[in-house]
Each structure stands twice: as C-alpha cells, then as structure tokens.
Amino acid sequence: MALPRGVPPAPAVPAATAPLRERILLVVLYITVLASSVAFFEPSPHDALMGVLALACLIAGVRIDRKIVLLFLLLLLWNAGGLMSLLNVPTQDKAVQYAATSIYLAVAALVFACLFAENTMPRLVVMRAAYVFTAVIVSLAAVAGYFSLFPGAQAQFAPTGRALGFFKDPNVFAPFLIWPTLIVLQRMVARRIGLFDVGIVAILLLALLLAFSRGAWFHFAVSGAVMLALTFLTAPTTKARMRIFAIAAVGTALLAACIVIALSFDQVAEMFNERAQLIKSYDVGRGGRFQLQEIALSELLNFPNGMGPFEFYRVHGTQQHNVYLQAFMVYGWVGGVSYILLVLATFGVALRTVFVATPWQPYLIVALATYFGEVLEGFIIDTDHWRHFFLILGMVWGLAAATYRYQRQRQDRRPGERVAPAGA
C-alpha cells in the first residue's frame, strides 16, 4: 500500500525473528480469516477458530487499549438488551442460540480491535492476505457454480440461480467480497496497477455481479465512491490526485464495458433484468418489506424489552429487513439505542483518524468506506449477524486506537528524534 508523504514506514519485523508467540498469533489470524468464507453451516469453522484466535491473543499478550473501551461498553449494552429480550421467549432454543451468536460476534469485534491496535502493520498484512485469498477462492467457486463448470457445481455453489459460493445466502456472500475488492482497488488507484491485481479484481467483481444482490451492488457503489473520495482527499500531491481521478474515470468506464459484455450472455441478462428493478413485488403491498417495516416501527412502543429473536417473524410471517428496526425489536430499547450509538460512535472515531497520515491509513480508508456502505445497506437487510461486519467494525476501532497512539508519540518525541509508528 502507498504511504502518505512524510510518513515513515513501519519497521519490518521478519517472521523468523519475531517472538514465537507473535508468530503463532499471525498464523492463527491467517487461518481464522481464511476460514471466514465457509459459512454454509453453523457453527462455522470460523466460529471455532475465533476461540483459538482469542486464546492466541492472550498468549501473545495482546492488550485492551483504553481507546476501545467505548466499543466494549456499547457492545455490552447491545447484548444486555438482547439477553433481557429472552424473557419473552425463554423456552426457544433458537432464540438462545441467536443471543449467544450476538455475544460471540461482539467478542470477535473486540478481539480484532485489540489485535489491530498494536503491532498494527504486520497483523494487517496477514489479515489482508488471508481475506483477499479466501475471497478469490470463494468467488471462483461461485462463478463455477453459476456457469455449471463441473458436475454438481451449480447445486453446491449457485442452487437458486444466484452465485453464493460457500455461503447460505447470496445477499451475505456479495457484501463479504467488498472489502477485499476495495483494498486491491485502492492499491491500484494510489500506487500501481499490476496484472495480478487486475485479475483479482476481475474475479471478485464477476462474483459480485453474479450474486445478483441489489443491496450489495448499491453497497459496492457507495463504498467505492467513498474510498475514491477519501483516497483523493488524502493524496499527498496534486499529481497524485490527478492520477487517482484519471484511473477512477478509466476504471469506471472499463467496469461499465465489462458489465455490458457480461450481459451479452442470455443467462446473465435474464437474471439481471429480474433483479435490477428498484422496487420488487415483495417490497410493496400487503406483507411487503415496506409494510412490515411500518408495522415494526409502530410496535416499538409496545415492546420496550423487545419481542425477542424470531418473534416478529413468527407473528408476521417474515422479517422486517432493517437492522435498525431489528435492533429494537430483538434487543429492546436498550439494545436498539446502543446499536445506533455504536454506529455513530464508529463513524466518529473513524472520521477523527482517517485523515491522519499513518502507514495504515489506506486500510482505515477502505475499512471506513466498506463500513459506510454496509451501514446504509442495513436499512434494507438485517446485518447484525454478518461475521465480516464485525471484522470491519473491530478494524476501524483498532486502527483508530493505533492512530491516536501514533499521534501521541509524534507529539511527545524530542526535536530531531525519529519515532517508530504506533503499533509497529
């Protein structure tokens, strides 16, 4: 990744000379993120590996930075509301499992935040390598399934005519691809364009298209625009800004051309025409998405403790497809308010640190851009149990904490003294 002008690079620590406990942590981190694309059954391998990663963090001496205490408190309140809502459905095993998953994901976000708050660059590099690699593998599987490239591929990886890879739902699979796509695109825009990166982006974008998720397409468009804007604003020179602008314009034109080529296949065009409609029949009318959201909004005052997991579905036959209404209906007023404060607080810490020139600034730019798109997508889908969402959440807070430390070290150093970047 390109470093902003005047920012000393994080000193590289060869894996062979790093402490054994840190090397173990990096290996476990790589395997854990690598397994995050396998989500067609629960509990997934990633869920089990998160426990191993937490143990590796303890062995490696990973500390809880005080800058993420607010994240801890808001996640605690969110889950406290969820546990209180179980009083409405005390005998349902699925509801208890739902609450347990929320707690586990909150812990996962805290683990990632603590991880990236120190020894930042080596851990980011490992996480990035694993995330991009697993995204490419699951995308290749999704494409193979969509075009039925080998026997049984379609039944396994695209059973409903929409690519989903190793996921159960294409609407979760597609957003999973956005961070790795943007992190590679950011490097191409800000630093260099390599054929290897072009190939990676092409695979990821093709899988994103073939998932036919309207929300994910919107998410990518918004997050991509935010990433480009932040990269442009933080570019060190006018020449760099002009390069970003030119590459973005050419890249957008090429993307549009590739979509036109993809739509020349009848199979793709037929599904695209069906999915590309802004309003579908299940969005409006009696029992539609929007009516259910109105019902959920009107029932907020009737359930201060929340209805509990799956109760809205049991009563009305389907979900309301809005994570913010979900926060109130499942986690009660305490959980709902806490979740909204969590979203706002995350934006606050990100915006206060994303413009600070650090070695990990490109990662924070992409994390914030991805988070922004996912927050908006939450208005049309429930994202409170998306595992990659909590990875991004933890990344934002961890990198913000590392940036605060980096700023403090630069302010405290003596004149002429070179400071090692925080988290290096």
The type of residue at 111 is V
Backbone angles phi, psi at 7, to 5 degrees: -100, 120
Confidence of residue 388 (pLDDT cuts 50, 70, 90): very high
pLDDT attached to residue 322: 87
Domain membership flag for residue 11: no
Domain membership flag for residue 15: no
Q: Tell me if 141 sits within 8 A of 204, measured CB to CB.
A: no
Residues 204 and 184: their CA atoms lie apart, in Å, by 10
Residue 412, pLDDT above cutoff 90: no
pLDDT attached to residue 277: 64
Q: Tell me if 169 sits within 8 A of 42, measured CB to CB.
A: no
Query: What's the total number of domains in the chain?
Result: 1
Domain membership flag for residue 12: no
The predicted-structure confidence for 87-121, as pLDDT tens digits, reads as follows 888 677 888 888 999 999 999 999 999 999 999 99
Residues 261 and 303: their CA atoms lie apart, in Å, by 51
Confidence of residue 6 (pLDDT cuts 50, 70, 90): very low
Sign of the alpha-carbon torsion through 99, 102, 106, 111: positive
Hey, what are 174's tokens?
């597609």
The type of residue at 317 is G
The predicted-structure confidence for 258-305, as pLDDT tens digits, reads as follows 888 888 877 788 777 777 665 555 555 555 566 677 777 777 778 888
Q: Tell me if 382 sits within 8 A of 215, measured CB to CB.
A: no
Find all residues with CB under 8 Å of 212, minimum gap 6, and list them. 162, 163, 170, 271, 272, 274, 275
For residue 44, give Cα distances in angstroms to 131, 325, 387.
16, 27, 10
Domain membership flag for residue 371: yes
The predicted-structure confidence for 334-369, as pLDDT tens digits, reads as follows 999 999 999 999 999 999 999 999 999 999 999 999
Backbone angles phi, psi at 167, to 5 degrees: -100, 165
Q: Specify which residues 167 forms β-bridges with.
A: 39
As a whole number, mean pLDDT of residues 385-402 equals: 96
Residues 391 and 104: their CA atoms lie apart, in Å, by 12
Q: Tell me if 282 sits within 8 A of 288, measured CB to CB.
A: yes
Domain membership flag for residue 107: yes
Hey, what are 405's tokens?
């430390």
Residues 144 and 163: their CA atoms lie apart, in Å, by 9
* Residue corresponding to tokens 């039925």: 148
pLDDT attached to residue 258: 85
Confidence of residue 423 (pLDDT cuts 50, 70, 90): very low
The predicted-structure confidence for 44-67, as pLDDT tens digits, reads as follows 889 999 999 999 999 999 999 999
Q: Tell me if 74 sits within 8 A of 341, measured CB to CB.
A: yes
Sign of the alpha-carbon torsion through 62, 63, 67, 71: positive
8-state DSSP, 148:
T
Where in the sequence is the domain holding 295, given as residue range(s)?
A: 20-411
